[in-house]
Structure 1
Amino acid sequence: MYPGRPWALQRVLLDELWSQSKGKNVRVAVIDTGVDTKNPQLTHAVDASSGANLLPDKNGKGQKIDRGKADGTTDTVGHGTRVAGIIAARPSQGTGFVGLAPEATIIPIKQNDADGDGTAETLAAAIEHAIREKAQVINISQDTANAVQPADGLRRAIDDALRHQIVVVASAGNDGLDGNDKLTYPASYPGVLAVAASDRNNERAAFSQSGDFVGVAAPGVDMISTVPQGGHCSDSGTSFSAPYVAGVAALIKAKHPGWTAREVVAQIEQTAERSVAGHDHLVGWGVVDPVRALTDDDHPIEKPTPKEGLTRAQAPTPARLVLGETADERNARLATYVAVGAAVLVAALAGVAVAIRDARRRPAAGGAGTSGAVNDT
């Protein structure tokens, strides 16, 4: 059990965010290794009746394999359970971890496992299942091996989801250490919101895949989330950046149910925290800002404006040139005059008082032998 508030949530004013939306009733398909509902924070977040297990019952040798429940609620890897938690984990006593959209509903679709038995074909089938189950957001935290472009079936499934106004979010990939830009799939398909990973400094995580297809970045380093059976663990990768953004998409869809998928994506991109004006191949339009995405939303937009969102540096204000005496100097001079004048006045009054006293103490005038005294009164 993780007792504190994870850093990726500390960067968000959750009360302000949730005053706008909690993602209520928005359906988010998690296409992954399954989602274990035995974790208490996910038990009431998952709609098992809409889930599916699309892995074959037999391996390549024809041997029977237990792939778990047919509804996608078995996760022996833990990957899909962590992804689902970042999106919609319910609040729980004893932990500061919670999903960004704690009232959204997860559709669990098991399409991969520890042996990597998922294929582009089963991924396409998972997307079509999500469409049938009325998903409004689809999260795909995986890509094809070696960034190989798959057959057209996956592309057609993505296009079908977009035609149904579903926001499709995908991880950009974790092969960024070599510094080369390359396309990954399905993240680089047009219309998909590709998510890179950022660190605590809002910079690209070293492993995060870069490229012009990257839409935004989101926290992806030391990400706390739910695990099978119960409790939490920490993990890193763009796999956990994508659900952070999918959670924000669910919040927007709940607040603006009439917005198109393109408008939701543009809102997330437009309101991201930018380090440059425009698009960057490392973090896209910037690091997602959940609060701004939910509050700077007066009207829907179709695409981000390149220069908006970047704070423009202000030119230094030159000091005002004053000829002669400045106001501060004049005030200082007058204060000196007042102080000196007061001192002179005090000294003069003291002198007069002494003179009067001495005058009263002198003897009265008279003949010799006559004595007199003047009493002080």
Structure 2
Amino acid sequence: MRESFRPGGTGPARRGGRGARAVLGGAAAVLLGTAVVAPSPASAAVPRCGPPGVAAPAETPWPLRRLEPSSAWRISRGAGVTVAVIDSGVSALHPALKGQVKVGRDFNGLPQQQGRCDLAGHGTIVGGIIAGKEGTGASFSGIAPQARILPVRVLPDTRTTVDEGLPGQIATAIRWSVQNGADVINLSLVTLDRKDLADAVRYALDEGVVVVAAAGNRQENQQDRPAFPAAYPGVIAVAGVDEEGGHVGSSVSGDYVDLAAPGLNILGPAPGGEGFLAEPQGGTSFAAAYVSGVAALVRAAHPDLDPEQVADRLIRTADSPPEGKNAEVGHGVVNPYRAVATVLGTRTDPPAGAMPAPPSTEDPLAWQGTVAVWAAAVGALVAALLLSVKPILIRGRRRGWRPGRRPSATDATTG
């Protein structure tokens, strides 16, 4: 059976008819019947499209309580880092994303809206998780609130497709993202394994761009199998966990899974207004977004690290399972504070440049130590001689011996 595309964050396939995406519900994410009108070249207005959502959450979403990204913000908030979100678009109008979303691009024959029209709502949630602003009055923020989003739209909606042209279009979007300043690329999607897609991922990594992808979601009665692009070498593949830290049942397992992050009961900005959308069934799409946010924190705090070193830092600082690594959560749940603040390396195997060269073993003052040892030895010998001579002198004086006088015959017989 041929593989089919499915965004990494739509959860298991849902049954039912067509219609609008449910807000705070479990209905399938489908293309809304909203008309999309391309703005005139003279218009600078950002299009408003997609579901409006509902009121802001009263409580801080559990992923933020679990990951506590604010603990890392004294060191890094992601400033200066651009994260490309190759998805269904990212709204630039939501308060959490206003000023955070750069001018992007639409691929796959979609109307040119600079990547900022998101009819599905999927990409906007992902973008908000990565770089949503703090201090907007809502108890929601992104992981890296000073990072910027480069929106790249390749998906009109979140329906499954077997479009043979999609992997090539995603590959083109990856290359465009690299050439337009992306430091991190988030791929919350799964598509067909094709050479041009693999080549585009390798190109991004070779250009120093960190690539994060969803490990994929199981469909009904589906066996675990590698998901692409997550399974390509060098890509950080992310699985989902629930509020108790357990593996989400819909999250694909495999040896290629590197890390895990919250992937159930997810909430994020809605593209069509100031409200929020909930994804009760979650998915690895959103788990990947959390890891992309932490990667942005690391890139801002440690700009000299290459993609392999960023991945190594995320892996080595994760909250690992008891056995260290498994097929369900990889090396464990990503930890923002430790990823940014931990000093890695050991005395026996430090990372290049992390520690100064060991000092010379030659002691320039060694000769002084040798002289001191000999002086002490001679002093001790002299002291011993003096102590041994003193009794002889005392006995000689008692017998009338004085220095410089020969003993007489009388002296010799006096007894």
Band the TM-score falls in, shorter-chain normalisation: 0.7 to 0.9
Flag the 1:15–1:89 CA change in 2: closer, same or farther, 3 A: closer
Out of 13-22 and 133-142, give the one that drifted further: 13-22
Q: Is the partner of 2:208 in helix, strand or coil?
A: coil
- 1:226 alignment counterpart: 269
CA positional deviation for 1:176: 6.8
Deviation digits for residues 258-296 of structure 1 (CA, Å, limit 9, x no counterpart): 011101001111111112333200100011111111121
- 1:44 alignment counterpart: 99
Out of 181-190 and 117-126, give the one that drifted further: 117-126
* Aligned residue identity for 2:209: I
**Matching of residues 188-203 of structure 1 within 5 Å:** 188-203=231-246
- 2:76 alignment counterpart: 21
Aligned residues: 286
CA positional deviation for 1:199: 0.6
* RMSD (Å) for aligned C-alpha atoms: 1.8
The answer to whether structure 1 residue 292 and structure 2 residue 357 are counterparts is no
Of 197, 205, 225 in structure 2, the residue corresponding to residue 154 of structure 1 is 197
* Distance in 1 between residues matched to 2:97 and 2:169, nearest whole Å: 25
Deviation digits for residues 38-74 of structure 1 (CA, Å, limit 9, x no counterpart): 11211111111xx1001215xxxxxxxxx351x1011
- 2:324 alignment counterpart: 278
* Distance in 1 between residues matched to 2:80 and 2:274, nearest whole Å: 24
CA positional deviation for 1:17: 1.3
The answer to whether structure 1 residue 56 and structure 2 residue 99 are counterparts is no
CA positional deviation for 1:152: 0.6
- 1:104 alignment counterpart: 147
* Distance in 2 between residues matched to 1:200 and 1:269, nearest whole Å: 20
Q: Is the partner of 1:169 in helix, strand or coil?
A: strand
Deviation digits for residues 88-147 of structure 1 (CA, Å, limit 9, x no counterpart): 011243311000000001000001112556710110011001111121100000001xxx
* Distance in 2 between residues matched to 1:112 and 1:125, nearest whole Å: 13
The answer to whether structure 1 residue 213 and structure 2 residue 256 are counterparts is yes
Deviation digits for residues 293-322 of structure 1 (CA, Å, limit 9, x no counterpart): 1121345869xxxxxxxxxxxxxxxxxxxx
* Aligned residue identity for 1:267: R
Flag the 1:2–1:39 CA change in 2: closer, same or farther, 3 A: same
* Distance in 2 between residues matched to 1:53 and 1:201, nearest whole Å: 38
Question: Contact 1:176–1:206 (CA<8 Å) still a contact in 2?
Answer: no
* Distance in 1 between residues matched to 2:351 and 2:156, nearest whole Å: 38
Flag the 1:207–1:194 CA change in 2: closer, same or farther, 3 A: same
Q: Is the partner of 1:20 in helix, strand or coil?
A: coil
Give TM-score, length-normalised by structure 1. Answer: 0.73
Of 287, 295, 299 in structure 2, the residue corresponding to residue 241 of structure 1 is 287
Deviation digits for residues 141-197 of structure 1 (CA, Å, limit 9, x no counterpart): 0001xxx42x21000000000001111000011117658431110000000000000
The answer to whether structure 1 residue 12 and structure 2 residue 67 are counterparts is yes
Structure with more helix by fraction:
1
* Distance in 1 between residues matched to 2:168 and 2:343, nearest whole Å: 37
* Aligned residue identity for 2:341: T
Out of 117-126 and 212-221, give the one that drifted further: 117-126
* Distance in 2 between residues matched to 1:209 and 1:301, nearest whole Å: 33
Flag the 1:237–1:52 CA change in 2: closer, same or farther, 3 A: same
Of 85, 88, 93 in structure 2, the residue corresponding to residue 30 of structure 1 is 85
CA positional deviation for 1:249: 0.2
* Distance in 1 between residues matched to 2:351 and 2:187, nearest whole Å: 24
- 1:345 alignment counterpart: none
CA positional deviation for 1:16: 2.2
* Distance in 2 between residues matched to 1:188 and 1:7, nearest whole Å: 28
* Aligned residue identity for 1:123: I
* Distance in 2 between residues matched to 1:102 and 1:272, nearest whole Å: 21
Q: Which has the higher contact order (CA 8 A, sep 6+)?
A: 2
Deviation digits for residues 324-356 of structure 1 (CA, Å, limit 9, x no counterpart): xxxxxxxxxxxxxxxxxxxxxxxxxxxxxxxxx
Identity, in percent, stands at 38
